[in-house]
Amino acid sequence: MLNKIKLWKNQQHSSSLRDRIIQIKGQQVPSHVAIIMDGNGRWAKKRALPRVAGHHEGMKVVRKITRLASDLGLHTLTLYAFSTENWKRPKMEVDYLLKLPEEFLGTFLPELIQENVKVTMMGYKENLPDHTLRAIEKAMDDTKDNTGLTLNFALNYGSRAEIVDAVKHVLNDCQNGIIDENGLTEDVFSSYLMSATLADPDLLIRTSGEIRLSNFMLWQLAYSEFWFTDVLWPDFGEQHFIEAIEAYQNRQRRFGGV
């Protein structure tokens, strides 16, 4: 039975975790899970460490959860790594956060390639430092033909700005006769968003006890299931991710129907 599920190379799940993975895979697995990874700063503060130590620990969790998402057969994992509002943080912290994609991909990209993961990015490329963009674009290019998990980084992403930009783009296309007002359906509008190639998230997870969306995928989360936990992101483990997915599988999604 255990041999029947394909696992990430060298993945060592405990036997109880493997049993839960098998159980989950026997039911409807959310295709797209989006995560607001919150609580890195508080994790560091509790240990009298600088905030960036929390971000570094958070990056290790990204690795772990990516492997598990792939093992569970998710189609997409979207991670809110840097918001358009995060520029308000001290420069040193911003610089550190924007170095993490490079550090992460510098060591993890070969594994992502080998495991058929496709890396994508959703966010404003302008303003990102060259080194950050280069690392992301290289990963996107190296993995563009992969057909397994899509690992989508929301980087320099803000949902309201995304929606306003989409509206401007629609108005422009209307003026140029590319679309007409009557043709503007919800699906067409979605195709103007940065998430155009992705299905809407089925499940949103937010860690650290905060119960808000913080300008994340406001349009796309309209019918998603939400799961909140007090666990801080650096403490978020495989068992928590499994717990969230099990909770999702016990929800009844009605999309406004009965």
Residues in the site for ligand FPP, rule: CB under 6 A? 37-42, 55, 58-59, 62, 81, 86, 97, 100-101, 104, 153, 208, 233
Residue 219 beta carbon to ligand FPP: minimum distance, rounded to whole angstroms: 21
Residue in 204, 190, 194 with CA at minimum distance from that of residue 34: 204
Is-catalytic flag, 38?
Answer: yes
Q: To the nearest whole angstrom, how small is the minimum distance from the Cβ of residue 32 to ligand FPP?
A: 18
Of 38 and 202, CB closest to ligand FPP: 38
> In whole angstroms, how close is the CB of 210 to ligand FPP at the nearest point?
7
* Between 41 and 123, CB nearer to ligand FPP: 41
The CB-of-2 to ligand FPP minimum distance in angstroms stands at 30
Nearer to ligand FPP, 88 or 254 (CB): 88
Query: At closest approach, how far in Å is the CB of 158 from ligand FPP?
Result: 13
CB nearer to ligand FPP: pick between 50 and 246: 50
Nearer to ligand FPP, 97 or 117 (CB): 97
Interhelix angle 238-249/51-72, rounded to 10 degrees, is 50
Answer yes or no: 156 catalytic: no
Q: Which of 40, 71, 86, 152 is catalytic?
A: 86
Task: Please pick, among 38, 152, 156, 202, the residue that the annotation labels catalytic.
Answer: 38
| Phi, psi for residue 111 in degrees, rounded to 5 | -65, -40
Residue nearest to ligand FPP (CB): 41
Active centre residues (catalytic): 38, 86
